[in-house]
Chain A
Amino acid sequence: MKLERAATMLPAHGWQLLPLRFHRIDPGSLVLTNLVGEHVFVTPDELSTVVDGTCADQELLARLRAAHLIQVPGETLPAELLAIKLRTRMRRLQDSTGLHIFVVTLRCEHTCRYCQVSRQAAAKSEFDMTEEAARRALELAFRSPSPQLKIELQGGEPLLNFPLVRWIVAEASRMNKEYGKDLEFVIATNLALLDEEILDFCAKEQIHISTSLDGPQDLHNSNRRRPGRDSWQQAVAGIRRVQDRLGTDRVSALMTTTDASLSRAAEIIDTYAELGLRGVFLRPISPYGFALRRRGGANYDVDRWLEFYEAGLGQIVELNRQGVPMVEIYASIIAKKILTNADPCYVDLTSPAGIGIGALVYNYDGEIYASDEGRMLAEMGDRTFRLGNVHDSSYADVMLSDSLLNPLTESITLSAPMCTTCAFEPYCGADPVFHHATMGDFTGHKALSAFCRRNMGVFTLLLRKMRDDPYFCDLMRRWTQ
């Protein structure tokens, strides 16, 4: 054993640095990351001695070597392993667009305070997608080389155009007999119109339901208004019906953080737990459209949202400690990026950005957008992210359009100012729609960007908790599965 130990001892200047980046996560601690995000915590002095070649701490050197942050001169394996991991992380780029969002109607019976889209009254059927537009959109979707296709049916409220939902599912399933893709359907609905016929259909077609739940009754109903002021009651009843009929794993909910949510993180989490929902996505409000109105719910800054996020995450960890399994979805996405080489393909945290190549949006009128936020901007008069129309654009027209390629080119974090030297670059991504909307260019000024500040805050919080709390570190590992 002593001989083996001696063989791994590194003398001064007996190693060379591999590509690494660092970030100060608090005054006495830095995190070092390699090209693929493997990380080690060190002190500032330790980093200095490692860079100078004078480090005598063999245990630290062993950890750095294991994490491919240093290597012994002449070694070839670390570079080969890093290359394999890098290629694995970028594998998604070969497959291209997996998520196809169909806006089957703009009609909605809710008038949510933060709704970014120009919703239409429930009776105005001229805002419904036609079968012809849906058929052409499906033809484009199946041109994607992705072996997995997820078709998300949303609105407005998609159940107001349920006949088209039925038609799309049937037609996509028929087309897939030829293509043989791994086909999945999601209906994004507020559940107020759920009935037995729809449940039967979802059971038969194995459809996943995604709904909105902002937390406790008063908060939810204040954010999400509908005639009868019973949005929360309808959503909760609907969630229970889907759980009973389709199974607990077939329904998930998303919340939107408004200024009224900020002091109520624990209550929001508890509402989810009481309903048996095992995942909460603590999402900030998107700074578009109606959300920016005085009563739109977006009157808070990044720091305030980060406090809310930390409180919510703390409550979720506490529930897990008590034996109630629950996941914070954003943390679980980042956990995969920090702890594995798998790419969770979350469109906001990829480089190049996920617009177009991660998701395409087919609007009710046949217009094609690079993302749902791009569609929302168009509803406000900014058509920057319009890629074409299902009636006259080919797949090549859409995927090779300047409207897509220009923002994609500017979204590569390995060449963006500040991102190139950021230790969190392997975990992060780019959001050209957000930066275009808030700063007027696709890249944005990273030091002034709310996207950057929010994600840096979340990465730092998660890493600090992983360093300090073995239970949390173990929980993050479980969330990667």
Chain B
Amino acid sequence: MSPAGGALSAGTQATGTHAIGAAEISLVFDQATVDLDALQRSAYAVAAEMTVDIRISGADYVCTLFPRTQDTVDDELKHRFRAEVNDQILRARIAKETEPLRNLVFALAFSQTGLVEAEASE
């Protein structure tokens, strides 16, 4: 993980690429409650509407949002990103909780195709 100030992800240039004088749109997430993975997945999912710069600041992740169009309302952009992060957190929780069953289903599905036996005999 990069130190404070190091860009982590999210398909964007470092902060400062937006128009000079424009106020930054930032959201702060507590590292104790939000995984970096959820933020990165969110940044990917909203890429049609904005690009996101993610940085570490103390115990927080600071996400700076860069709208793709000029007519975007800041609060709407923040709500959109925050809602996406919440969904990604929920998705991660469900995926973690159900991973053993998911693996079991795939193992059962492919155990009767002959593929497993063929691979073992090679």
Query: Which A residues are closer than 8 A to B by beta carbons?
Result: 16-22, 24, 35, 47, 51, 79-80, 82-84, 86-87, 90, 94, 417-418, 421, 445-448, 453
Contact = CB atoms under 8 A, between A and B. Distances in A.
Contact of B41 (A79, A84, A421, A448): A421
A32 to B, nearest CB: 10
Contact of A79 (B47, B48, B97, B108): B108
B13 to A, nearest CB: 16
7 contacts: A19-B98, A20-B94, A35-B102, A79-B105, A83-B106, A87-B112, A446-B44
Given A51-B93, A79-B101, A86-B106, 9 more contacts: A19-B101, A83-B108, A86-B109, A87-B109, A418-B44, A445-B44, A445-B47, A447-B44, A447-B46
Given A87-B110, A87-B112, A447-B46, A82 B91 contact: no
Contact of B44 (A51, A83, A417): A417
B68 to A, nearest CB: 10
A180 B103 CA distance: 39
Nearest to A423: B91
A17 B98 contact: yes
B77 interface: no
A40 B46 CA distance: 25
A19 B95 CA distance: 7
A86 B41 CA distance: 26
Contact of B45 (A20, A21, A86, A447): A447
Contacts of A82: 105, 108-109
A17 B105 contact: no
B105 A51 contact: no
Contacts of A18: 98, 101
B105 A35 contact: yes
B46 A79 contact: no
Contacts of A446: 44
Contacts of B2: none
Nearest to A85: B109
Nearest to A445: B47
Interface in B13-30: none
A80 B95 contact: no
Nearest to A34: B105
Given A19-B98, A87-B113, A448 B48 contact: yes
Contacts of B109: 82-84, 86-87, 90
A391 to B, nearest CB: 33
B120 interface: no
Contacts of B93: 51
Contacts of A448: 47-48
Interface string B82-109: 0000011011011101110110111111
Interface in B45-73: 45-48
B110 A421 contact: no
B45 to A, nearest CB: 6
Contacts of B46: 447
Nearest to B49: A447
A447 B47 contact: yes
A62 B112 CA distance: 30
A17 B94 contact: yes
B37 to A, nearest CB: 11
Nearest to B86: A44
> Which 7 A-B pairs have CB atoms at the shortest separation, nearest pair first?
A83-B108, A447-B47, A83-B109, A19-B102, A86-B109, A19-B98, A87-B109
Contacts of B87: 22, 24
A19 B48 CA distance: 28
